[in-house]
């Protein structure tokens, strides 16, 4: 099997070049061709000798996930369905907003955490994505618009690990790919522009602070353990208090004045009452945080409903009155099933979750465009 150079850090690529008897500075040249110019054909790497181009083509490759399908929403959001082999498909979304364009990247095929409101969770779980498959999504998005690139990131200004999967359950590949996103010789995005979102794996948040200082977002979704146990089952293992303590440790370790974003999905009459808002404000009182409210995005088969905008605004008002910077996430790409929690791809479910749901007559019909 050929070595895929796409997922390698610069230092791994240097080791690779040394191992084939080449000078390490060649690694930097190839690294920049791949990530800064979007080139995957060795014969186009004009500062390499013809012999080296040929040798590299014989033993290595630059292989990104294959695009199965891409579609633009009427609001400018673009969704890709990517083939990662053996019948597994993942989804990725680019959301333009003025001068910004945020890429929502997947970390796993499906998700084992199984939150009750999430279409990805209902798909079951197949496997972790490799570092090449994760950074490959950025590579695909950057090179999708046919524009010439001569340095760093052009089409993508922000990246959020909020596609399919729980990024902290695929720690090495995700953090390795995030380092490439932030590497000046690759995509050069600042630590504030690369965000990891997690359902709350406490020990992994501590581990994260040892390898990166990228932005962290917590998918909280409930103000007390009783409710959160229902919505985000991993809460039974890592309850809210432990999670918020881990957030505090992460922020302290980063040593800046940052506020952590707390994501709170609003589900009609489940977690969106005024009492819920007050309770949320109370538990976050000492956590430097800002709140991002996400009105539930429906998918076929889910019993949950999106609250009225009046209920959403009332919740927001309480949080603001309590002193929190609070935003409501506008739903983007809904017409192409690209909104938060609607990404399903195609998952070779190894958990039997889909089968169990069907047996209990609770099958969640997830609709994909493929
Ligand atoms: N597993 C990670 C990252 C992927 S989920 C996490 O849970 O944080 C990305 C975001 O989409 C999370 O905040 C998640 O809670 C939200 N989400 C999931 N399903 C949703 C739905 N049906 N409607 C709106 N947001 C949803
Ligand atoms: Fe997994 Fe995140 Fe969906 Fe929960 S919300 S099932 S952790 S992808």
pLDDT tens digits along 151-210: 555 689 999 999 999 999 999 999 999 999 999 999 999 999 999 999 999 999 999 999
- The answer to whether position 364 is within a domain reads no
> Model confidence at 370, in pLDDT bands (50, 70, 90)?
very low
* φ and ψ at residue 4, rounded to 5 degrees: -85, 115
CA–CA dist 164, 316 (Å, integer) = 27
CA–CA dist 247, 254 (Å, integer) = 11
- Binding site membership of 120 for ligand 2 (Cβ less than 6 Å): yes
Same domain, 343 and 219: yes
Tokens of residue 19, six digits:
């191992």
Q: Give the CA dihedral 316, 222, 79, 343, nearest 10 degrees.
A: -150
- The answer to whether position 167 is within a domain reads yes
Same domain, 158 and 35: no
CA–CA dist 69, 91 (Å, integer) = 10
Give catalytic residue positions.
Answer: 91, 340
CA–CA dist 338, 253 (Å, integer) = 34
pLDDT given for residue 301 in this prediction:
84
Lowest mean pLDDT among 162-176, 195-209, 213-227, 330-344: 330-344
CA–CA dist 84, 235 (Å, integer) = 30
- Binding site membership of 113 for ligand 2 (Cβ less than 6 Å): yes
The answer to whether 34 touches 4, Cβ cutoff 8 Å, is no
pLDDT tens digits along 101-120: 999 999 999 999 999 999 99
pLDDT given for residue 276 in this prediction:
98
* Residue 79 belongs to domain with CATH number: 3.20.20.70
Same domain, 70 and 133: yes
If one counts the domains in the chain, the total is: 2
Same domain, 74 and 137: yes
Same domain, 30 and 92: no
Tokens of residue 284, six digits:
């976050």
Helix (H) or strand (E) holding 54: helix 50-59
Lowest mean pLDDT among 214-223, 238-247, 329-338: 329-338
Same domain, 56 and 89: no
Q: Indicate the length of the chain as a whole number.
A: 370
Q: Ligand 2 mean position to 240 CA, how many Å? A: 16
The answer to whether 77 touches 94, Cβ cutoff 8 Å, is yes
Q: Ligand 1 mean position to 87 CA, how many Å? A: 24
Concatenated DSSP letters of 184-245? TTTT---GGGEEEEES--HHHHHHHHHH---EEEEE---SSHHHHHHHSGGGGTS-HHHHHH
pTM of the model: 0.94
Same domain, 132 and 12: no
To the nearest whole number, what is the mean pLDDT of the chain? Answer: 92
- Binding site membership of 119 for ligand 2 (Cβ less than 6 Å): no
The closest residue, in CA terms, to atom 3 on ligand 1 is: 162
The answer to whether 226 touches 276, Cβ cutoff 8 Å, is no
CB-based burial label for 359 (10 Å; 0-12, 13-18, 19+): exposed
Same domain, 74 and 134: yes
């Amino acid at each position: 099997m050929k070595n895929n150079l796409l997922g390698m850090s610069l230092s791994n690529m240097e080791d690779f070049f040394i191992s084939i008897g080449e000078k390490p500075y060649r690694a930097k040249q190839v690294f920049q061709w791949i990530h800064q110019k979007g080139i995957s054909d060795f014969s186009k790497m004009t500062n390499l000798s013809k012999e080296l181009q040929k040798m590299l083509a014989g033993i290595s490759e630059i292989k990104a996930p294959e695009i199965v399908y891409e579609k633009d929403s009427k609001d400018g959001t673009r969704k890709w369905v990517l083939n990662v082999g053996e019948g597994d498909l993942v989804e990725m979304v680019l959301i333009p907003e003025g001068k910004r364009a945020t890429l929502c990247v997947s970390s796993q095929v499906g998700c084992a955490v199984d939150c009750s409101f999430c279409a990805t969770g209902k798909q079951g779980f197949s496997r972790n994505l490799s570092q090449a498959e994760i950074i490959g999504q950025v590579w695909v998005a950057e090179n999708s618009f046919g524009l010439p690139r001569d340095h760093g990131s052009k089409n993508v200004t922000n990246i959020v690990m909020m596609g399919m999967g729980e990024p902290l359950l695929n720690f090495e590949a995700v953090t390795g790919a995030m380092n490439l996103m932030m590497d000046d010789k690759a995509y050069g995005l600042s630590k504030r522009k690369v965000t990891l979102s997690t359902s709350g794996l406490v020990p992994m948040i501590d581990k994260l602070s040892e390898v990166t200082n990228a932005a962290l977002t917590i998918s909280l979704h409930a103000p007390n353990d009783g409710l959160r146990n229902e919505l985000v089952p991993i809460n039974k293992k890592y309850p809210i208090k432990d999670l918020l303590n881990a957030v505090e440790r992460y922020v302290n370790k980063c040593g800046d004045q940052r506020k952590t974003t707390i994501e709170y999905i609003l589900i009609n009459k489940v977690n969106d009452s005024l009492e819920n808002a007050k309770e949320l404000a109370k538990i976050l009182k000492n956590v430097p945080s800002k709140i991002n409210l996400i009105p539930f995005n429906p998918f076929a088969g889910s019993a949950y409903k999106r609250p009225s905008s009046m209920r959403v605004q009332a919740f927001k008002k309480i949080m603001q009155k309590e002193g929190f910077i609070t935003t409501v996430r506008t739903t983007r790409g809904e017409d192409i099933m690209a909104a938060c929690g609607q990404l399903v791809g195609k998952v070779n479910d190894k958990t039997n979750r889909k089968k169990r749901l069907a047996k209990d007559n609770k099958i969640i019909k997830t609709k994909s465009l493929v």
